[in-house]
Structures are given as C-alpha cells and as structure tokens.
Chains A and B, each alone.
Chain A
Amino acid sequence: MLSLVNGPQTNGNGRGFWLAFLAVLTMALIYPVFADSYDVGNFSYFLIWIFMALGLSLIWGYGGMLTFGQTFFFGIAGYGYGVLAIIMGGGTATIAALILSVFVAAFAAAVLGYFMIWGRISGMFFGIVTLAATLSLAFFLGQTAGPEWHIGGARLNGFNGMKGMDPLTVGEVYIEGTILYYVLIALILVTYLGLRMLVNSRIGNVIVAIREDPQRAEMLGYDVRKYQLLTFCIGSGLAGLSGALYTSWGQFITPSSIGLPAAAMPIIWVAFSGRSDLTATLVGSFLLLFGFQTITIYSQQAALVLMGALLLATVMMMPQGFIVGIAQAVGRRWQQLSGRKRSGNGSLQSGES
C-alpha cells in the first residue's frame, strides 16, 4: 500500500528525491524555532492554499477536467465553516465544523459534477460552466448585506464578509500561530502522500487513462463518469479544506475570495508549476504565493498584472508548466551524467517493485 507513493504517475520516485523530500520536511519542521512568530503566521497563510492547488492538479492535471470552480468550493466551505462554527458554538465543535464544511463542499461538487459529467460537458465548457457558478456565488454573497440574510445567528454581511466565528479550537487551545503551522504541515504531508498513493493506484491509473482517451477507457469497460465524478469531488473537497482553514485562520471570509480575480489564482499556480505533477504543483504554488505576497505589499494590482503575464507566458512558452519543464530538463541532464558512470539501472524503476 505505502509503496504506491512511488509510481508512474508521479515525478520523483528515486532515493535522491526522497532524501531531498526529507531534507525539506526537516527544514519545514525546525523553521519555527528560528523564525519569529510573524513569519511563521505568514508561512501558514501560504500553506493554507496548497490544498486547493493540489486538488486542481488532481482534477485538471490528472483527470483532464479544466475546472475554474476551485474558489466556488473554497467559498462554500469557507462560509460553511463560518456558519457552522457560529451555530455550533466555539470550542472543540469547530473541528466538527471544519470536517462538515469540507463535506458540504464535496457534496456540492458531487451535485454540480453530476449535471456536468452526466451531461457530457467537457473541455472548455467544463471551465466556463464552473466559472459561471463561481461568479454567481460571489455575486449572490455580495448582495447579502441586509439583516434578513442570516443562517441561525450567522450574518452573511454582503461584501464586507462574515466574521465572528472562532478559529479551530481543541478544548481550550486555539489552533493558531505555531500550532497551526504544524497542523498545516501535517495536513499537507498527509494530503500530498495520500494523493500520490491515489494517482499511482489502480484508480489513479484509470483516471489518467480517461484523461488520455475517454473513449478508449470506456471501451475497456470503465464507467468513465464515475471516475471523473470521484476525481472532481476529491479535488473540490481539497479546495473546500483550503476555504475552511482560511476562514479559521483569519476569522473572516469575503465574497472577493471567490469571484474574480481570486478564481484565476489556483489556475495560475497550477499552470505555472505544471499541472501534471503533484510535487511540481506543491513547490510552484508555494513559490508563487510567496512571490505574490511580497509584491502585494507594494501594489496588489501590479502583483495581479504579473500573475496574468505569468499565465500568458506559461501557455506561450512552456505549456506543461515551468517547474515541471525545469525539473525534467534537470532530470535529463542528471541521467546523462549518472548514465556514464553506471549504465542503465535508472532510479526511476524503483517504483515498479
């Protein structure tokens, strides 16, 4: 079972990769010891979005469904967490609110996905229908300013957004600061390894086969629609996890984190990084979030112009993504170098056992 973390659907299966992985993980784990708490908080903020990016990589890169709806599910779970945390009261119930809100997002994905996938919507239309749903949700939440828009004691508050919910709490302990950082690292580790196992498993191979040629996969006897729906629900659920964590992190959420330009952000991270690989998505998204935040301090508009330019540059120059492209070039060079020393026996085969 665990051996599935290595396999044909993921780059980086050799011992060198896992050593580097452990090194990065160790650095991430000791980072709070050296950094001040403000920087740790900032880091946590970047990590929150990683789930959404990984989910998009699964749906788009592995499943071949170009969804523009990541922020739709982000918003559903984000608002869902807010409403549930307020209704159920703070304390340990917030953990239940987190889990429930992610399930609500995944359920919404199942409903929307059912209509689209069973309606044989694919390609570009998949993108624009999900985007239409996303923008409509943002417009809807934007006009819920009046007091009549409330669920239980939770006011939706229109453009100003929801606030007043508790952050994630266990007993008396708020999951904030350094604790939140470690929780996020653990969640990302589980998600990342879990997704690697998923895509290298039998199910993952079918998902990739459907991306390559849906008709052929159908002829081979797979119910393409079920696999696509499963992919869509998992990936969208991960976007929901990002949303719920985001609301908990800042104790607020606004419609602007759903609509434009927010909806374009996950697409840009994943396209730039290389949608077809989870590791590239993880690394690239983190780098972009970091860079974006650095520029946003000076001008948010300039940062967004740059993101747009990055997206344009990616599709024009390196459609498979910059991180994947660079990694592949480095990998080829590495194999050339090591191939001279010991012929054959490439490290890529280790996943086959």
Chain B
Amino acid sequence: MLSELFSLFYQFADVFAFLVLASAGLAIVFGMMGVINMAHGEFIMCGAYVTVGLVNLGVPLPVAQIVAAITAGLIGILIEILVVRRFYKRPLDSLLATWGLSLIVTQGMLIVVGSSIRGIGTPEGSFAVGDYTFSTYRMILFACALAVLVGIYVLFMRTRFGIIARATMQNAGMAQALGARTGRIYAVSFGIGAGLAGLCGALYAPTMTLIPTMGATFIVESFVTVVVGGANVLLGTAPAAMLLALVRMSLNASYGQIIGQIGMLFAVIAIIRILPEGFSSILARRGR
C-alpha cells in the first residue's frame, strides 16, 4: 500500500520537477518584463551542452552543472543587452526576435557540433520502497525544483534586489524616478531567467540524448505552465505546475507519455477558457 502511494508520488514529483525547472526561467522573464523568450529552449540546450562538455573533460557533475547555469545566465545578460532590451515596448516583436535567435542558435549548433555528442549516463543510485525501486537522481531533480521555487521566493521577497525588482515590475517609471536602475534590473532578471533555463538543461543533461534541437522538448511544457500560471511567478508557477503535473501523471500512468502530453494541452486549453489570466489572477485577487 505504502509503496503504491509512494510510486504515485514519485511519478507526480517527476513531472512536477520537469514543469517547474523547465518553466521557472521563462516565467521570471515574462513576469518581470512581459517578454516571452522564444530562445528559452536554447538556453536549456546551452546548459546541457556545457555540463556534458565539462563532465567529459573530467569536471565533477555538480560543479559542471553550476558552471553551466552561470554560463547560460551570463550569455542571457549579453543577449538582453544586445537584442531583447530594444523590444520591451514591443512585446510581440520580442517574440519574433528571440525566435530568430533560437533558429540561428539551433541550426548554427547543428553546423558547428553536428547532430549529437557523447552523452553522460544518469548518475547511478536507486532506493527501494516496498517492492519498487526508484531512481535517486529523479528525487534529486524534485528537490532541485523545490529549491528553485524557494530560491525565487527568497530572492524576490527577502532581498533588496527583490524589492526593487518587484517595484520595477509594478511600475517601472515610478521605480526609475525613485532611483532604481531599471535597465540593470531587467538585464539581471533576464540573466536569472536564462540561468534557470541553463540549470534545467544542466540537471536533465545526464538523463537525455543531447542534440541541438533538444530545446523543443522543453518548450511546450514551459509555455503551457507559464500560460496557466499567469504573469506572477511567485503565485502562479507552482500551482500551475502542480495541477498540470496531476493531469499529466494520471494520463501518463494509464495511456503513456504522448497521450499525457496531448491531454495536458487539452487541459490547458480548457483552463484558459475559464481562467484567461492564469492562476496568479485569482490568487492575487484573494491576496488583496
């Protein structure tokens, strides 16, 4: 009995972690700047490639993962300064610009590094509950997802940067008048978003085949989580991921992965019909 329950929890945790890790960076960038970063998947890919490259050079996996996330974050800041910055007043054009970037990066990577590189195996280690055994690494991913959520909460609610960032999010002009350097806040936020994307890639790198187009496997999940979550990362992302994970887990268990994905999409389309602004709208209203 206990082992069945834990098995259900394990499957839920697996999907939940994937949704949270894949969407956190996208959600922060959207929540702060109102920009959907279509190159989000490429930052994920970047994190994965840096991780695998470093591990193949002999760097221990956790160190490689941290370095990969930081690398993606720094590239994100660079991209913000060079491209994204010009589009805050034209959010739809930002979608196109980042999509152009995404095409350039994926196809450029295909030319430069070829279709696949030598991967690294999933770290060994499993534990048993009752009759079933479970992969330890998947539980580590779940813990990381929770840590990311807590980290975002602490960063935005408990630090000076967070206060200024939230002020900028609410009213950029007023924040600027009060002395906040909003340009820098935006650059750093975009960097954090890209870094979280890189972290996602780094964490999932050992579990999947690395190809330059791997970002596409993440973006559907990250898009729908952000759509369901709404504009407020702090309030929306976690409940959205939880709900979608429940839908997906129950469908996965009975019908397999692909029906799970399609079912999740149908759920999303039904949810936006009822809740156009996502979860953060009802939660924010209640909080007032």
Closest CB in chain B relative to A343 CB, distance in Å? 38
Inter-chain contact A308/B103, CB cutoff 8 Å: yes
Give Cα A123 to B35, complex, Å.
11
Give Cα A129 to B273, complex, Å.
12
Give Cα A116 to B226, complex, Å.
15
Please, which residues of chain B bring their CB within 8 A of the CB of A123? 91-92
Inter-chain contact A301/B91, CB cutoff 8 Å: no
Closest partner residue, chain B, to A135 (CB atom): B220
Inter-chain contact A135/B216, CB cutoff 8 Å: yes
Closest partner residue, chain A, to B212 (CB atom): A301
B77-120 vs A, CB cutoff 8 Å, 1 = contact: the mask equals 00000010011001111011101111110111011000000000
Inter-chain contact B258/A139, CB cutoff 8 Å: yes
Inter-chain contact A316/B86, CB cutoff 8 Å: yes
Inter-chain contact A129/B268, CB cutoff 8 Å: yes
Please, which residues of chain A bring their CB within 8 A of the CB of B90? 315, 319
Inter-chain contact B110/A125, CB cutoff 8 Å: no
Give Cα A305 to B101, complex, Å.
9
Inter-chain contact A125/B103, CB cutoff 8 Å: no
Given contacts A124-B91, A140-B262, A143-B258, contact A311 B100 (CB under 8 A): yes
Given contacts A129-B272, A131-B223, A307-B103, contact A124 B111 (CB under 8 A): no
Which of A115, A118, A259, A310 is the most central at the interface, judged by chain B CB atoms within 10 Å of its CB?
Answer: A115
Given contacts A128-B227, A132-B265, A312-B83, contact A261 B220 (CB under 8 A): no
Please, which residues of chain B bring their CB within 8 A of the CB of A22? none
Closest partner residue, chain A, to B213 (CB atom): A260
Q: Which chain A residues in 292-343 approach chain B with CB under 8 Å?
A: 299, 301-302, 304-305, 307-316, 319
Closest CB in chain B relative to A117 CB, distance in Å? 10
> Which one of B101, B103, B111, B261 lies within 8 Å of A139 (CB-CB)?
B261
B276 within 8 A of A: yes
Inter-chain contact A311/B103, CB cutoff 8 Å: yes
Please, which residues of chain B bring their CB within 8 A of the CB of A136? 220, 261-262, 265
Give Cα A110 to B10, complex, Å.
38
Inter-chain contact B272/A115, CB cutoff 8 Å: yes
Q: State the majority secondary structure of interface residues on B.
A: helix
Closest CB in chain A relative to B39 CB, distance in Å? 10
Inter-chain contact B111/A299, CB cutoff 8 Å: yes
Given contacts A124-B95, A308-B103, contact A259 B216 (CB under 8 A): yes
B235 within 8 A of A: no
B282 within 8 A of A: no
- Please, could you name 18 A-B residue pairs with CB atoms under 8 Å apart, sorted by A? A115-B270, A119-B272, A124-B91, A124-B92, A124-B95, A129-B223, A132-B227, A133-B265, A135-B219, A139-B220, A140-B261, A267-B99, A299-B111, A305-B111, A308-B99, A311-B100, A312-B83, A315-B90
A112 within 8 A of B: yes
Please, which residues of chain A bring their CB within 8 A of the CB of B269? 112, 115-116, 129, 133
Closest CB in chain B relative to A127 CB, distance in Å? 6
Please, which residues of chain B bring their CB within 8 A of the CB of A264? 99, 103
Give Cα A140 to B265, complex, Å.
12
Inter-chain contact A309/B216, CB cutoff 8 Å: no
Which of A116, A128, A264 is the most central at the interface, judged by chain B CB atoms within 10 Å of its CB?
Answer: A128
Inter-chain contact B87/A315, CB cutoff 8 Å: yes
Q: State the majority secondary structure of interface residues on A.
A: helix
A121 within 8 A of B: yes
Closest CB in chain A relative to B112 CB, distance in Å? 9
Give Cα A112 to B266, complex, Å.
10
A66 within 8 A of B: yes
Give Cα A302 to B107, complex, Å.
7
7 smallest beta-carbon distances between A and B, as pairs: A308-B103, A311-B100, A312-B100, A308-B104, A304-B107, A119-B273, A301-B107
Please, which residues of chain A bring their CB within 8 A of the CB of B261? 136, 139-140
B36 within 8 A of A: yes
Which of A132, A271, A304, A313 is the most central at the interface, judged by chain B CB atoms within 10 Å of its CB?
Answer: A132
Please, which residues of chain B bring their CB within 8 A of the CB of A125? 227, 272
Give Cα A116 to B104, complex, Å.
30
A15 within 8 A of B: no
Which of B99, B227, B265, B274 is the most central at the interface, judged by chain A CB atoms within 10 Å of its CB?
Answer: B99
Give Cα A314 to B96, complex, Å.
9
B15 within 8 A of A: no
A216 within 8 A of B: no
Closest partner residue, chain A, to B102 (CB atom): A308
Please, which residues of chain A bring their CB within 8 A of the CB of B194? none
Closest CB in chain A relative to B178 CB, distance in Å? 29
A120 within 8 A of B: yes
B28 within 8 A of A: no
Please, which residues of chain B bring their CB within 8 A of the CB of A119? 272-274, 276
Inter-chain contact A115/B273, CB cutoff 8 Å: yes
Closest CB in chain B relative to A346 CB, distance in Å? 31
Give Cα A267 to B38, complex, Å.
13
Please, which residues of chain A bring their CB within 8 A of the CB of B87? 315
Give Cα A143 to B260, complex, Å.
13
B46 within 8 A of A: no
Which of B213, B216, B270 is the most central at the interface, judged by chain A CB atoms within 10 Å of its CB?
Answer: B216
Please, which residues of chain B bring their CB within 8 A of the CB of A304? 103, 107
Inter-chain contact A311/B97, CB cutoff 8 Å: yes
